[in-house]
Chains A and B, each alone.
Chain A
Amino acid sequence: MLSPPNEPSSEEFDRAASSGPTGAVALCGIAVCIVVVIWLAFYFLAFLPRGFLQ
């Protein structure tokens, strides 16, 4: 099986990953915050003011 000459070793890979996926966490965090804010805004500013059914 062919492999690229510059493929990182297992140790290099672990060292690079040791600080955690901070970029992915930031991106997911922003996306989830947007969804939660939209949910809360719809629930409190649109759904509740329209009145409950009983």
Chain B
Amino acid sequence: MTAESVAARYETRWAVLMTAIIVFLLAIVVFTGLHWASMPPSRVEVIDATTLHLKGEFTENNLGVAVDAQGRITVHLLAEQYAFRPQCLVLPQGEPVTFRATSSDAVHGVLVTGTNINTMLVPGYVSTFVATLKELGEHSMPCHEFCGVGHAAMWARVRVVPKATFDQLVRTNRRPGCV
């Protein structure tokens, strides 16, 4: 048997093994993704970034956490150079929360530490996803997409509180906040 044929045999076996490993890892991702109905955090929903402050759901008095009559919790979040509005979100532990976020100027990004919340915020598009926060306490929420000279200072916070505390806050404030 020549050295060349030995090398060819091992290369073929190695390629089959690597393909099997890749297929196995992809199968895990596909199965868990379908099993929990996981979705990518963004979809194509457009909005006029030049009139965000004048009309629609991202006007100043509509930003933050809101609970509708059916008890569904929605967060409207606006990213702009160099801050998130609002600066701090109070959210209940273990409840599904719908995030709707956009940018009024440059491309920003948002993530919440200790969670899988992580999406781009692009002017002209609304990023929507549903997340359930499990860990009580303060989580930082930085901008993770370089957006200009003030990018490093663009931080906000998420405070996760027990459901009862959140309900109490909602009863006393139309928009529950950190202060």
Interface residues of A (CB under 8 A from B): 13-14, 16-18, 20-21, 25, 28, 32, 36, 39-40, 43, 47-48, 50-54
Contacts and interface: CB of A to CB of B under 8 A. Distances in A.
Contact of B116 (A18, A20, A25, A53): A53
B30 to A, nearest CB: 12
Contacts of B38: 52-54
30 contacts: A14-B1, A14-B3, A16-B3, A17-B2, A18-B1, A18-B3, A20-B9, A21-B10, A32-B18, A32-B21, A36-B21, A36-B25, A48-B32, A50-B115, A50-B134, A51-B116, A51-B132, A51-B133, A51-B134, A52-B36, A52-B38, A52-B116, A53-B40, A53-B116, A53-B129, A53-B131, A54-B37, A54-B129, A54-B130, A54-B131
Contacts of A13: 3
B150 interface: no
Interface of B: 1-3, 6-7, 9-10, 14, 18, 21, 25, 28-29, 32, 36-41, 96, 114-117, 129-134
A52 B29 CA distance: 12
Contacts of B114: 50
Contacts of A53: 38-41, 116-117, 129-131
A3 B95 CA distance: 76
A27 to B, nearest CB: 12
B82 to A, nearest CB: 25
A54 B35 CA distance: 12
Contacts of A47: 116
Nearest to B18: A32
A32 B90 CA distance: 44
A18 B10 CA distance: 11
Nearest to B135: A50
